[in-house]
Amino acid sequence: MNSDALPETRFHLLGPVEVRHGDDAVPVPAARQRAILAALLLRAGRVVAVDTLTDLLWGDRPPPTATVTARNYVSRLRKAVPQVSTVSGGYRLDLPPGALDLDRFERLTASARTAAPAAAVPLLDRALALWRGPALADLGTLPIHHVEAPRLEEMRLAATGDRLDALLRVGEGVRLVPELVRLVARHPLRERFVGQLMQALDASGRLPEALDLYRRTRDRLVTDLAIEPGPVLRRLHQRLLETI
């Protein structure tokens, strides 16, 4: 068997919550059943207590029947996902390696962190290609989305930053300008992306634009957050000034 072959049943969190068996989608129609599935997948191999599930389904305003209702949701979920098991203290979902897209994403990004830049780029491209949209995209109205999605999105942004760093190191700064302009527009106070755009602009012979970007970012940080740019961005700015 090819070591890269995926398990027959695969689970997806990096986008809408989804289960696929071979080429076919496994129906899990109720949002709260998908929320329970997501909670179990995010804690794969560990026992998840019913209280944890009710918190992720209803937050601090559970209905009086929350525990019974959560157990009923799990019972229905198991008809579609028999890998869910009842254990002492709650429920557990055990997965083979590679069955969860998040697991594959984390393995690829971990490998990229120890690879040379040229080798890291394709690993990170594969990792980021696993995303089908915002994590847990179909659970936006439930507490689990507010608890878990920001952490997953940070992982995506970190991998995006790692990929851009690797591309800058292998001399691809010029072609990265449009992508970085879009990223900075969406995340204007994320200093890593600002610094990467400054480097890409400098590589493109657009040093005045890079310095102006720093000035505008600093002004916004001071105005909005009452903080100065961090040391990495300040050092980059000073280095660019010294090239004038």
Which of 30, 61, 93 is at the close of a domain?
Answer: 93
Asked whether residue 27 is assigned to any structural domain, the reply reads: yes
Provide the domain limits for residue 36.
Answer: 9-93
4 pLDDT more than 90: no
How far is residue 173's CA from residue 203's CA, in Å, rounded to a whole number? 6
How far is residue 175's CA from residue 233's CA, in Å, rounded to a whole number? 21
Asked whether residue 20 is assigned to any structural domain, the reply reads: yes
pTM greater than 0.85: yes
pLDDT, tens only, 161-204: 999 999 999 999 999 999 999 999 999 999 999 999 999 999 99
How far is residue 204's CA from residue 144's CA, in Å, rounded to a whole number? 43
Asked whether residue 146 is assigned to any structural domain, the reply reads: no
Which of 48, 69, 93 is at the close of a domain?
Answer: 93
Angle at 170 between CA 200 and CA 215, to 5 degrees: 20
Residue with more model confidence, 34 or 8: 34
pLDDT, tens only, 94-120: 999 999 999 999 999 999 999 999 999
DSSP string covering 160-180, please? Answer: HHHHHHHHHHTT-HHHHHHHH
Report pLDDT for 244. Answer: 84
Comparing CA positions, the residue from 215, 218, 180 lying closest to residue 199 is 180
1 pLDDT more than 90: no
Residue type, 117: P
- Give the CATH number for residue 49: 1.10.10.10
Which of 93, 116, 137 is at the close of a domain?
Answer: 93
Asked whether residue 162 is assigned to any structural domain, the reply reads: no
How far is residue 211's CA from residue 179's CA, in Å, rounded to a whole number? 19
Which token pair is 164? Answer: 């851009």
Sorting pLDDT into bands at 50, 70 and 90, what band is 82? Answer: very high
Number of domains observed in the structure of the chain: 2
How far is residue 184's CA from residue 233's CA, in Å, rounded to a whole number? 14
Asked whether residue 2 is assigned to any structural domain, the reply reads: no
Asked whether residue 189 is assigned to any structural domain, the reply reads: yes
Asked whether residue 118 is assigned to any structural domain, the reply reads: no
Report pLDDT for 195. Answer: 98
Asked whether residue 150 is assigned to any structural domain, the reply reads: no
